[in-house]
Amino acid sequence: MASTEIRTALVTGASSGIGAALCRLLAAQGITVALAARREEALRELAETIAADGGQASAHRIDVSDPEATIEAIEAIDDELGGLDLVVANAGVVKGKWSGKLGWEDCRDILAVNVAGATATLIAVVSRMVERKRGHLVGISSIASYRGLPKLAAYSGSKAYLSNLLEGMRIDLRGTGVSVTDIRPGYVRTAMNEDTKGKLPFEVTAEDAAARIWKAIRARRAVLTFPLPMAAGAHTMGALPNLLYDRMMKRGK
């Protein structure tokens, strides 16, 4: 399916950051976009901005940490829009802590949103897409998926899960007309890292990230890691033996 054939899309985590920027970009291509997140007011404002710019968008309150309700809501949107061509599992949360002090409350949301929520989003209408012989599933993983990260063990674990889920789905779905793309961004300046003052290494804006993601979707890329210096670093880290990797990473409490 060529990019011009993407007529409808659903993006979770559309109320801010990468998701909001991607929705604006998709709508500017003439794609009807379903905006999903918990903050309804932000979604409604974004839908209005998109409409004012001549695009089409609808706001949907979906809390992806409830997988059954998420699947039901996405199925209903699929019905409403006459079939979703593109589903982007972008909603995500991060919480960092030294592993020696981790409590369940530090991990629960990460697993509920990044693991269960992303899975529910990606499988919600996959069987319908296979029946229609068309569709594209995209997950916003992270550069953190390449190795376990200190003080981010649960987050990097959740993104490793997501990347492996996407890879397994990609291979399963080969030849069905349904494409799968795994996006692994480096630092993107959004609310997620608002506590970090000063420049993050090779940081990009949400708009820049959205443009790269859209290009990868059009090209039906299997995996996109960006920006290039971070991708190179991640690949190198991925190949290091534990002895070297452990020494390189910061240790501390």
Ligand X SMILES: NC(=O)c1ccc[n+]([C@@H]2O[C@H](COP(=O)([O-])OP(=O)(O)OC[C@H]3O[C@@H](n4cnc5c(N)ncnc54)[C@H](OP(=O)(O)O)[C@@H]3O)[C@@H](O)[C@H]2O)c1
Q: Binders of ligand X among 160-179, rule CB under 6 A? A: none
Which range in 52-60, 72-80, 87-95, 146-154 contacts ligand X by CB under 6 A?
87-95
62 vs 224, beta carbon nearer ligand X: 62
Among 176, 193, 202, 233, binds ligand X (CB under 6 A): 193
Residues 6+ positions from 13 with CB-CB distance below 8 Å: 19, 36, 37, 90, 91, 92, 140
Residue with tokens 């991640």: 234
Q: Which of 10, 33, 57, 91 binds ligand X (CB under 6 A)?
A: 91
User: Does residue 15 belong to the site contacting ligand X (CB under 6 A)?
Assistant: yes
Q: Which of 113, 125, 126, 230 binds ligand X (CB under 6 A)?
A: 113
Burial, 38: exposed, middle or buried (Cβ in 10 Å; 0-12, 13-18, 19+)?
middle
Q: How far is the CB of 94 from ligand X (least distance, A)?
A: 6
Write the burial class of residue 174 (CB in 10 Å: 0-12 exposed, 13-18 middle, 19+ buried): exposed
Q: Is 155 helix (H, G, I), strand (E, B) or coil?
A: helix
Q: Report the nearest approach of ligand X to the CB of residue 158 (Å).
A: 8
CB 186 within 8 A of CB 237: no
Phi-psi region of 133 (alpha: psi -120 to 50; beta: other; left: phi over 0): left
Q: Which stretch binds ligand X (CB under 6 A): 95-103, 190-198, 210-218, 230-238?
A: 190-198
* Stretch near ligand X under the rule CB under 6 A, chosen from 48-56, 62-70, 74-82, 219-227: 62-70
Q: Give φ, ψ of 232 to 5 degrees.
A: -60, -45
Catalytic residues: 155
User: What residues make contact with ligand X under the rule CB under 6 A?
Assistant: 12-19, 37-39, 62-65, 90-94, 113, 117, 140, 142, 185, 187-188, 190-193
